[in-house]
Amino acid sequence: MSKQLTNKAIFGRRESEARSYCRGFDTVFASAKGAEMIDQSGKRYIDFLAGCSSLNYGHNDPDMKQALIAHIDTDGVAHGLDMHTAVKARFLETFEQHILQPRDMNHRVMFTGPTGANAVEAAMKIARKVTGRSNVICFTNGFHGVTQGALAATGNSYHRGGAGVTLNNVTRMPYDGYLGQSCDTTDFLEAMLRDRSSGMDAPAAILLETVQGEGGLNAASTSWLKRVAELAQEAGALLIIDDIQAGCGRTGSFFSFEEAGISPDIVTLAKSISGFGLPMGLVLVKPEHDIMGPAEHNGTFRGNTHAFVTATVAIEKFWSDDSLQQDILRRSNIISQGLQSLAAMVPEARLKGRGMMQGVDVGCGDLAGKICARAFEQGLIIETSGSEDQVVKILAPLTTTDSMLQRGLSILINAAQDVIGGHKFAAE
Amino acid sequence: MSKQLTNKAIFGRRESEARSYCRGFDTVFASAKGAEMIDQSGKRYIDFLAGCSSLNYGHNDPDMKQALIAHIDTDGVAHGLDMHTAVKARFLETFEQHILQPRDMNHRVMFTGPTGANAVEAAMKIARKVTGRSNVICFTNGFHGVTQGALAATGNSYHRGGAGVTLNNVTRMPYDGYLGQSCDTTDFLEAMLRDRSSGMDAPAAILLETVQGEGGLNAASTSWLKRVAELAQEAGALLIIDDIQAGCGRTGSFFSFEEAGISPDIVTLAKSISGFGLPMGLVLVKPEHDIMGPAEHNGTFRGNTHAFVTATVAIEKFWSDDSLQQDILRRSNIISQGLQSLAAMVPEARLKGRGMMQGVDVGCGDLAGKICARAFEQGLIIETSGSEDQVVKILAPLTTTDSMLQRGLSILINAAQDVIGGHKFAAE
Amino acid sequence: MSKQLTNKAIFGRRESEARSYCRGFDTVFASAKGAEMIDQSGKRYIDFLAGCSSLNYGHNDPDMKQALIAHIDTDGVAHGLDMHTAVKARFLETFEQHILQPRDMNHRVMFTGPTGANAVEAAMKIARKVTGRSNVICFTNGFHGVTQGALAATGNSYHRGGAGVTLNNVTRMPYDGYLGQSCDTTDFLEAMLRDRSSGMDAPAAILLETVQGEGGLNAASTSWLKRVAELAQEAGALLIIDDIQAGCGRTGSFFSFEEAGISPDIVTLAKSISGFGLPMGLVLVKPEHDIMGPAEHNGTFRGNTHAFVTATVAIEKFWSDDSLQQDILRRSNIISQGLQSLAAMVPEARLKGRGMMQGVDVGCGDLAGKICARAFEQGLIIETSGSEDQVVKILAPLTTTDSMLQRGLSILINAAQDVIGGHKFAAE
Amino acid sequence: MSKQLTNKAIFGRRESEARSYCRGFDTVFASAKGAEMIDQSGKRYIDFLAGCSSLNYGHNDPDMKQALIAHIDTDGVAHGLDMHTAVKARFLETFEQHILQPRDMNHRVMFTGPTGANAVEAAMKIARKVTGRSNVICFTNGFHGVTQGALAATGNSYHRGGAGVTLNNVTRMPYDGYLGQSCDTTDFLEAMLRDRSSGMDAPAAILLETVQGEGGLNAASTSWLKRVAELAQEAGALLIIDDIQAGCGRTGSFFSFEEAGISPDIVTLAKSISGFGLPMGLVLVKPEHDIMGPAEHNGTFRGNTHAFVTATVAIEKFWSDDSLQQDILRRSNIISQGLQSLAAMVPEARLKGRGMMQGVDVGCGDLAGKICARAFEQGLIIETSGSEDQVVKILAPLTTTDSMLQRGLSILINAAQDVIGGHKFAAE
């Protein structure tokens, strides 16, 4: 690669207006390691975004890196459609041994196109084929991707508006807490499911995230998740947990639903499953529902071979024992404490999320945006989420050292102080 | 990687029934180089499938390989969402210099999720947003992917049936030649577009492949393409060329539509754009139509950084001069000759396709399947296409040496001879 | 007409299996007068069904009858498409004078095809055209007809299942009381409307009945209706009151929403608007929303001329003063008392509805059905409603004399006693 | 009714802008008899529109009139939902005896809501339920009504645009003659049906008019209809003939498809089935497809009792022998001759239609409109049809006397002469 500094003019000249993160983080990145990204001027940034949870093990993990280089260097297959390859076999064996078997999951693995949206589309197809029904129940503030099938399930009106067509075959229900803490929203779901004149067509699936990453770090309670799982079963619907953002350790366990003790019929994974940030997506499906025909859902890049290499290392390295989970637990507490300090500065601020998927609802998107912008100036990459972008969200690599985590939190808190001084709160 | 032989049991135990190519090509591949794949027993296969045209420059091109290893080794960004990176800038500059500028194309580049289907979904969204219309005209036997928006435009009933929902907002028109050579199907398209009571809603776009790869290697004529382009303009619809399979040199020029002299409003690319088989997809859109808002169509893996590295090398190496195009022309002729020999053995067989995207329609899927199966036994990877899988299709790497091409063709012809001896033709 | 008795065999031989009321009321009716129907054997039945509220002024009102015969006898236009006719003018003038002006309503009258469903389809079209949006908010247990557009808004799964296609472009919200009396369901509606990530697309309209006739006589409260009207306005959505069953005096005032003091943008009327049971449907629309083009929504029978004749008499006779309303008030109380007696026999029975649109929820459809069947044997025509057909519903003509009302109620109560003796309640 | 002249101001003040025929025929009609309408000033108009073929037996036929008055006068049931009534029995018996049995049709009769659109919606539902498929094949320039399900099958973009939603679950095929006389459009239909990658989903039904009344009097040939019927059967699709405008004798036989010798699975009737212009609609369905459940498709006005009375008289009077058919044949020829005279005045004019459903395509809507407007001034009610309103269409009552037919044709020809003098043809 050229050592010459990149001229940003090319982006303005040739990259589509649809580009987005580069607008908030306006520099040119050159390299990245662990929890840090380095731009071409050599400035280092602590990464509290982690590729939107695609880099749970940080950037360029040395073991994955070494395995990937070795694979490439020896002319390992780079693209093999969905043929059998040695590296796919090894990934499956490792995933079976360290992830599925210890959790008593007999799910099959379906490699979809290497995006989360593609995995969600496949999951919805499976549920519709299994049940012969078309309606998928999804939830307020859910985010499942922006291809047309997945987009129907996504709540965000900005993304929905991009479709240019009506988005159908879903029914929207209120997520846990949507109507305040005193209202159990499963009561409404139950009523709609049991009433033959409710107007809700019999569902093929109930599709949800246990923590809504894009939706504002809303975390469903264990009791709510259990009740939804029971209602799905009662209604003859498949339960699909979209664990694309909350899975792969983000909430503390490999799957985000382990704590709730539920057994989803289908699970979608993407983002951090490759371990290295490489495109990869998959669907876990119980054997009795594994009825898609050969290539019925297909795609040229289903099964990214390079990703199998790094994913295998990631699972072996981080999920053979519980040390990472211990780290996550400790770091989650560090984050909670940091965020409490932040929340204390903002009237009516609320802590959101769980595990290493936490944030603070500061009440308005303008303030949250200013805090993140100020933090970036000070060397911290962090973004907002929620329907009004009102939640400052931390998605640091799970492997971020405690000290770097503390440093990042300090930058964030200082940024908030800088901004809040000049901010006029609604209540004032 | 372990040197121990892979046990295939893991695939049966844990991989979804949706797996497909591995069924026809039932071995475990370990490495690949140029136009060959090598299985774990050391057996070599000539690859006339090339990842369904994702490996136009063959497997593990040494220059791309070296650049990718260097990038990884120096902790180059592996995943950067759609932030600015040095390697993205270099890809854009190279693509502008060697591809867009020489062809007088002022299109912008939109990096979508790294699959062809995702690029098609984005293209349809753009056209719908630009025009405020929802209807997309597509064609018989077209294939554009299997996520819900793209699947609506795909003709194959097996894939459509997998949707589990009604596929809407498209109108199907007959492709060039669909009603025989004496019927110009654009007459029907014109009548439908001009008649205010035709029942065809005003189109947002006309979406097509210039050669239908999955549809049976149907190649549209230059005059037909020009007429469709004129009708799109007259109707206020955007012309979208899906060049995912036919682009990146497959038909002889970088874009498959160059010969026709048309200027599509939108072009979709994926498959071979990375050069190395890595997941990558993009949309080219004229600046006046580049109106998707920031992240309005988004996705975690939009812009695969590793793919930028290899794509840049691919373009510099193969598209700085016309030597590859000369090679393709010569190799296309070799393929034509080989296929004529094959066609001569089968009553009423027809040559299909153009460039290095050719095949023979042998009249029935059973025969075509047997030929491909026999060829695989003899060390050739090749598959069928078409509505009845009746077309034996060659998608060899464009860089396959003439001698290896000849060797592959010999295997194919011998396989056909072996099979035809025992085959009973319908007319007999 | 022949005096010979009709042989019912023709119905079995030639009428479709879709026939329905004739199954429960298994006799052949020959004539009808006031609140009674007479079968061909001369047996008289008190009619507590009144053509599902299409005969609010009873059968064959003598004044309407005389006017209609005079019209026919003098070769008055029977079918005039939507040309100007003298009788249409007179209907419009009368409707303006006695209905619209006294209520300060400046609505325009759109004559649709002569069914309620057609009026609902037209209303939905208007709202969609006015707003440029497609989503219509409707409610649990709502019933709006069974043509495809209206059926999407209807909650009943049996009717929905008949569509054979997915029913789209609506969002279902919980009706007043759906989640128990302690939950104000407008809170959920408000949250969904205000939240940009709720997943509910911006609504063209909010469509509702103030009392859900088919849905089980659920009556919305005045405060709930006011709040919904406010939310519609805030959201830029049109408020459509479907007053097909509850209008024309059924609840005590001409329109069912008068008590709530709201001003709907659109009102649909059908059923009793002709006064005589003749097919007629119309839409009232505020002038600023009267933007459908000439014949944009059309139909051969829009504006049934015979119905204009009888409708004019009906309005002049019954709505020139408040005597009918006084009668309805008194009769509503008689009905309430009768139903309380009935309810007292059934554990946990609940009174439902308001005005002369009342019933008793007896807890299960089996019991309600048995009561109605027994009542029919005793000379009373009455049916059930509700999602489980669990509500015994009284829709007597508004003009039923007090004494006949008492007689009908006695039959009903006796029928209930007969049946309840042999019925085993769930709680027992 | 008041003898005072009607003031048209009420229409401007209170009738919706959606009103339409009254704009072209701008007078107030008071009475009508046979083939004439009389306005309130006493001016007589020959009616070549006949309620868009709803008045095939003319206005106020004396026998139907007498029967209807007798029914009303004796308190015959006016509205009976779908209960058994003596008059319904008599209609069914008469329809069976004179219509179904002589044509060897064992169809069942389903009474739908009393509009053509409602009958079409029911027909589509039946086909979808029988086949378990959703796609309905319909044709260019078809018109089937404007409620949402029927509107999807209607070709006219003005009506389609009124929907405000995307119209789905149909596929549009070219009607007979759409691509010129040399192209047999069933070849395309056959190809699409047989090709598993055509993109056309397996059809529930093929729905068509044998003569497209609103579409411009396009008449399908017998051979084309036979081929479509064969293809429907081969595809497992139901054949639905929409005979709402072309049935009830309009083309010469009771059903318009008799000449073609085909046996539709489903037939829709409305318009002239009541004989008197009263709202009535029905579906004929073969017994093996009569599977809609009780009230699965319902509607308050299904089965208009007054219409049964007049329909029975109409069938007995006009279809007991072949005298009407002889009259239609003779009158069709009179019309053909008159239209030839008209066509001779207009360069490239074309005769359209068949039976008493004929017209002239004068090449542009402006000219056709002027001719009709001038004719109205001279006492003739006549309208245009076709995608550009370019066809002057005659739909006179079948019972119009030969002499009055001649008088009407003279007015038309004179009107054309008046107008053509001042018209500039495109070719000039």
Best of A23, A83, A290 to disrupt the B interface (most B CBs within 10 Å) is A83
End-of-domain residue from the set A318, A338, A359 = A318
Chain B residues inside the 8 Å CB shell of A279: 114, 279, 301, 304
**Mean predicted confidence (pLDDT) in B39-43:** 97
Average pLDDT of chain D, as a whole number: 96
pLDDT, one tens digit per residue, over A276-330 is 999 999 999 999 999 999 999 999 999 999 999 999 999 999 999 999 999 999 9
Chain C residues inside the 8 Å CB shell of B165: 166
Is D150 inside any structural domain?
yes
From chain D residues 370-389, the ones with a CB under 8 A of any chain B CB are 386-388
Best of B5, B81, B136, B381 to disrupt the A interface (most A CBs within 10 Å) is B81
pLDDT, one tens digit per residue, over A232-256 is 999 999 999 999 999 999 999 999 9
Chain C residues inside the 8 Å CB shell of D68: 72
Chain C residues inside the 8 Å CB shell of D152: 148
Torsion angle of C-alpha atoms B55, B59, B65, B71, degrees rounded to 10: 40
pLDDT, one tens digit per residue, over D228-246 is 999 999 999 999 999 999 9
Q: Per the CB < 8 Å rule, is C191 touching A174? A: yes
Identity of the residue in C22, C65, C67 whose CB atom sits nearest the CB atom of D83: C22
Q: What is the pLDDT of residue A1?
A: 42
Chain A and chain C share a number of CB contacts under 8 A equal to 113
Q: How confident is the model at residue C17 (pLDDT cuts 50, 70, 90)?
A: very high
Selection from C162, C148, A11 nearest residue D129 by Cα: C162
Identity of the residue in B2, B15, B89 whose CB atom sits nearest the CB atom of A109: B15
In this complex, which chains have at least 3 CB pairs below 8 Å with chain A? B, C, D
Distance between start and end Cα atoms, chain C: 53
Look up residue A99 and give its DSSP letter: I
Q: What is the pLDDT of residue D1?
A: 42
**Mean predicted confidence (pLDDT) in D279-300:** 97
Both A304 and A228 in one domain: the answer is yes
> Does the pLDDT value for residue C252 go beyond 90?
yes
Is A3 inside any structural domain?
no
Both B306 and B342 in one domain: the answer is no
CATH code of the domain containing A340: 3.90.1150.10
Both A224 and A371 in one domain: the answer is no
**Mean predicted confidence (pLDDT) in A391-407:** 98
**Distance (Å) from the alpha carbon of D42 to chain A's nearest alpha carbon:** 53
- Is the Cβ of B132 closer than 8 Å to some Cβ of chain C? no
Q: Per the CB < 8 Å rule, is B30 touching A290? A: no
Q: What is the pLDDT of residue A425?
A: 74
- Is the Cβ of A144 closer than 8 Å to some Cβ of chain B? no
Q: What is the pLDDT of residue C421?
A: 82
Looking at the structure of chain B, the number of domains it has is 2
**Distance (Å) from the alpha carbon of D120 to chain C's nearest alpha carbon:** 10
- % of chain B beyond a pLDDT of 90: 96
Identity of the residue in C78, C116, C165 whose CB atom sits nearest the CB atom of D300: C116
Both A40 and A122 in one domain: the answer is no
As beta bridge partners, residue C325 has none
pLDDT, one tens digit per residue, over D5-43 is 889 999 999 999 999 999 999 999 999 999 999 999 999
Contact between residue A278 and residue B79 where contact means Cβ atoms under 8 Å apart? yes
> Does the pLDDT value for residue D2 go beyond 90?
no
Both B282 and B388 in one domain: the answer is no
Both C289 and C349 in one domain: the answer is no
Average pLDDT of chain A, as a whole number: 96
**Mean predicted confidence (pLDDT) in B219-243:** 98
3-state secondary structure chain B: CCCCCCCCHHHHHHECCCCCHHHHCCCEEEEEEECEEEECCCCEEEECCHHHHCCCCCECCHHHHHHHHHHHHCCECCCCCCCEEHHHHHHHHHHHHHHHHHHCCCCEEEECCCCHHHHHHHHHHHHHHHHCCCEEEEECCCCCCCCHHHHHHCCCHHHHHCCCCCCCCEEEECCCCCCCCCCCCHHHHHHHHHCCCCCCCCEEEEEECCEECCCCCEECCHHHHHHHHHHHHHHCCEEEEECCCCCCCCCCCCCCCCCCCCCCCEEEECHHHHCCCCCCCEEEECHHHCCCCCCCCCCCCCCCHHHHHHHHHHHHHHHCCCHHHHHHHHHHHHHHHHHHHHHHHCCCCEEEEECCEEEEECCCHHHHHHHHHHHHHCCEECEEECCCCCEEEECCCCCCCHHHHHHHHHHHHHHHHHHHHCCCCCCC
> Does the pLDDT value for residue C3 go beyond 90?
no
Q: Where are the beta strands (DSSP E) in D113-230?
A: 135-139, 170-173, 203-208, 211-212, 218-219
Q: Per the CB < 8 Å rule, is B178 touching D191? A: yes
pLDDT, one tens digit per residue, over B99-129 is 999 999 999 999 999 999 999 999 999 999 9
Q: What is the pLDDT of residue C2?
A: 46
**Mean predicted confidence (pLDDT) in A132-156:** 98
Please tell me the number of Cα atoms within 13 Å of B174 on its side-chain side: 27
pLDDT, one tens digit per residue, over C211-239 is 999 999 999 999 999 999 999 999 999 99
Say how far apart CA D250 and CA D399 lie, in whole Å.
11
Is A2 inside any structural domain?
no
Both C108 and C13 in one domain: the answer is no
- Is the Cβ of B421 closer than 8 Å to some Cβ of chain D? no
End-of-domain residue from the set A295, A318, A341 = A318
Q: How confident is the model at residue A2 (pLDDT cuts 50, 70, 90)?
A: very low
**Mean predicted confidence (pLDDT) in D306-315:** 98
Identity of the residue in B11, B18, B109 whose CB atom sits nearest the CB atom of A294: B18
Q: What is the pLDDT of residue C426?
A: 63
Both B44 and B154 in one domain: the answer is no
Chain D residues inside the 8 Å CB shell of C29: 77, 80, 83-86
pLDDT, one tens digit per residue, over C81-131 is 999 999 999 999 999 999 999 999 999 999 999 999 999 999 999 999 999
pLDDT, one tens digit per residue, over D393-409 is 999 999 999 999 999 99
Q: How confident is the model at residue D427 (pLDDT cuts 50, 70, 90)?
A: low
pLDDT, one tens digit per residue, over D342-393 is 999 999 999 999 999 999 999 999 999 999 999 999 999 999 999 999 999 9
Identity of the residue in B18, B166, B296 whose CB atom sits nearest the CB atom of A110: B18
Q: What is the pLDDT of residue B181?
A: 86
Identity of the residue in D142, D199, D387 whose CB atom sits nearest the CB atom of B196: D387
Q: Is B19 left (phi over 0), alpha (psi -120 to 50) or beta?
A: beta
Average pLDDT of chain B, as a whole number: 96
**Mean predicted confidence (pLDDT) in A258-280:** 98
Q: Per the CB < 8 Å rule, is C200 touching A172? A: yes
> Does the pLDDT value for residue B2 go beyond 70?
no
- Is the Cβ of C166 closer than 8 Å to some Cβ of chain B? yes
Chain B and chain D share a number of CB contacts under 8 A equal to 113
Look up residue C258 and give its DSSP letter: G
Q: How confident is the model at residue B1 (pLDDT cuts 50, 70, 90)?
A: very low
Token pair recorded at residue B222: 């230059």
Both C98 and C228 in one domain: the answer is yes
Is A149 inside any structural domain?
yes
- Is the Cβ of A166 closer than 8 Å to some Cβ of chain D? yes
Is B427 inside any structural domain?
no
Is D427 inside any structural domain?
no
> Does the pLDDT value for residue D426 go beyond 70?
no
pLDDT, one tens digit per residue, over B344-372 is 999 999 999 999 999 999 999 999 999 99
pLDDT, one tens digit per residue, over A78-109 is 999 999 999 999 999 999 999 999 999 999 99
Residue in D closest to A167 by C-alpha = D166
Both B314 and B327 in one domain: the answer is no
Q: Which domain holds residue C405?
A: 9-61+323-420
**Mean predicted confidence (pLDDT) in D193-218:** 97
Residue in A closest to D165 by C-alpha = A166
- Is the Cβ of A149 closer than 8 Å to some Cβ of chain B? yes
**Mean predicted confidence (pLDDT) in A257-273:** 98
From chain D residues 215-274, the ones with a CB under 8 A of any chain C CB are 270-271
pLDDT, one tens digit per residue, over B18-30 is 999 999 999 999 9
End-of-domain residue from the set B284, B318, B352 = B318
Q: Per the CB < 8 Å rule, is B156 touching D202? A: no
Is B230 inside any structural domain?
yes
φ, ψ for residue D420 (rounded to 5)?
A: -65, -30
Both B94 and B226 in one domain: the answer is yes
Q: Per the CB < 8 Å rule, is B165 touching C166? A: yes
Is C4 inside any structural domain?
no
Both D28 and D176 in one domain: the answer is no
**Distance (Å) from the alpha carbon of A427 to chain B's nearest alpha carbon:** 31
**Mean predicted confidence (pLDDT) in B393-403:** 98
CATH code of the domain containing C275: 3.40.640.10
Q: What is the pLDDT of residue A5?
A: 87
- Is the Cβ of B155 closer than 8 Å to some Cβ of chain D? yes
Chain C and chain D share a number of CB contacts under 8 A equal to 417
ipTM > 0.90 (yes/no)? yes
Residue in D closest to A168 by C-alpha = D166
Q: Per the CB < 8 Å rule, is B51 touching A158? A: no
Chain C residues inside the 8 Å CB shell of A170: 199
**Distance (Å) from the alpha carbon of B160 to chain A's nearest alpha carbon:** 9
- Is the Cβ of D63 closer than 8 Å to some Cβ of chain B? no
Q: Per the CB < 8 Å rule, is B192 touching D140? A: yes
φ, ψ for residue A47 (rounded to 5)?
A: -105, 95
Average pLDDT of chain C, as a whole number: 96
Q: What is the pLDDT of residue C380?
A: 98
Measured in whole angstroms, the distance separating CA C361 from the mean position of its chain's CA atoms is 19
**Mean predicted confidence (pLDDT) in A360-371:** 96
> Does the pLDDT value for residue B428 go beyond 80?
no
